[in-house]
Amino acid sequence: MKEQLLEIGLTNLQEIHHNPTTPALYEQTIIRGEAQLAHLGPLVVHTGKYTGRSPEDRFIVREESSRDNIWWGQQNKSMEPEQFEHLLTKVLGYMEGKPVFVQDCHAGADREFQVPLRVITENAWHSLFARNMFIQIPEQSRLQDHVPRLTVIHAPNCQAVPGIDGTHSEAFVLLHLGRGLIVIGGTSYGGEIKKAVFTAMNYLLPQQSVVSMHCSANLGRDNDTALFFGLSGTGKTTLSTVKDRRLIGDDEHGWCERGVFNIEGGCYAKVIRLSSEAEPEIYDCTRKFATILENVALDPVSRRLDLDNDSLTENTRAAYPLTHIPSGLSKGINPHPSNLFMLSADAFGILPPISKLTTEQAMYHFLSGYTAKLAGTERGITEPVAVFSTCFGAPFMPLHPHVYADLLGNRIVEHDVDCWLVNTGWSGGPYGVGDRISIGHTRAMIRAALSGELNRVDYRQDELFGLHMPRRCPQVPSRILDPKNTWQDPEAYDRKGRELAELFRDNFRRFASEVSDAVRDAGPSGAHFV
């Protein structure tokens, strides 16, 4: 191991902890004062200034082997190779004389597309995070022969100096795709490790004709796979983690010619105000050994959690292995999906609670990737703000969106997948006026779609977005299925709807020349902007 670390420039290390087990990492984490032990066994860590991802601090190296493939722009900012080498040298020098923790694991549950991964960290808890999140290698023979294709060097206490290092702040996440090297510094937020590896997989998999997807997935008793696309806060993890279906994974998947596979081996769930009644499986994971809780409030005496406390951040997280979920499914490849759900937390209160999409509408909404930020979630936001994140994960998609959209569209047609748009946001008015759509009603609508019941009901077409809304759904009041019915002032609904529709249309202009007429026309009708 020492020789392999020397090859990437890690020299004069104090000690190398190579593939320590979970109990060993617990001991080191406590001894080193990196975390507190909570009631029933999870570790609670604080990530300091950075309690979420820092997209402005992520750079892709503009190197010869990948530069012509990257969709350069706001999401994929470039860094010159010379700058990268300078920062890499800085990190390697910082690591000298320090102990390091090395986890050898895999990204990708399907062995045909599996990518060998090595995560090198300065903190024990980040090594446990990697052990939870990625796919462990139980066989000693495979561990001994492990040759990483992707290597992460994680030094959260090594800070950049923007004026000297060419970064945006003291934090940096650097991807050198040609060398398979990811370098992270200045931030302790564990999600940076997870999403940097996902970004690299989103570069590698499509080149092998695999759809890489920011979605959760589960499997029903009839061997039917369902996919749930959505941005943070829309309900991917909540809606896919249910007792009557097996959880394939909660966030990152590949879809190849043989079926769907999890890219990860663990879950990373948002836990603020988590309820044991509404989300029992995830709630139980916050009270288990091996779980890491980021920025969750803890009583210093009783060591009991307060999941309602957002004093450190709204983005409190739990990282735990998939085996913590009783319905978790660890097999490599799963059947092709029968249903695909696109989740949007619409704070404008305009989109139907559920609508069935044509293939062209599915492509339109996949490229749009709409949800909304709420008033109060960021400084200066006093009204709901529309967010469009193409492919429901633009910050993690290094290739042009049409690469992912074309692959997904071909799979949907080939396997005759039913596609649905689900509003997990507001009804009866925008945020501040209307109410959040009941999680019970959303679950009932998804159950009806999965069982095929929604394929046996009548639909009416929404005039504004052209969406097909069911007239009835078991266990759901029929009046809420058409959102206009829930507003006290129908004219106010129309005004707010036109506002949202225009935002959709303005956003989609960047894709208009690259899609078919049928996909372009699957959005809001221009006739409504008179």
By annotation, the residues acting in catalysis are 53, 195, 214, 232, 236-237, 251, 317
What would you measure as the largest C-alpha separation in the chain, in angstroms? 71
Decide if 224 contacts 339 (C-beta within 8 A).
yes
- What's the token pair of residue 63? 């190197």
> Residue 285 is inside which H or E element, if any?
helix 280-285
Q: Which residues, 6+ apart, have CB-to-CB distance to 322 below 8 Å?
A: 247, 249, 262, 264, 265, 266, 267, 328, 329, 330
Give the pairing type, strands 43-45 and 58-61.
unpaired
DSSP-derived letter for residue 473 is B
Strands of 132-280, DSSP E: 150-155, 172-176, 181-185, 211-219, 225-229, 246-249, 252-256, 259-262, 266-270
Closest CA to 342 of 196, 449, 498: 449
| Three-state DSSP state, 240 | helix
Closest CA to 185 of 167, 204, 166, 172: 172
In one-letter notation, the amino acid at residue 347 is A
Closest CA to 434 of 505, 371, 496: 496
Decide if 421 contacts 344 (C-beta within 8 A).
yes
Contacts 24+ apart (CB under 8 A), 159-166: 159/185, 159/186, 160/87, 160/90, 160/185, 160/186, 165/83, 165/86, 165/87, 165/90, 166/79, 166/80, 166/83, 166/86
Which residues sit opposite 386 in a β-bridge? Answer: 372
Decide if 38 contacts 307 (C-beta within 8 A).
no
Q: What distance in Å separates the CA atoms of residue 29 and residue 125, rounded to the nearest whole number? A: 6
For residue 52, give Cα distances in angstroms to 77, 117, 167, 316, 363.
Answer: 19, 23, 18, 9, 29
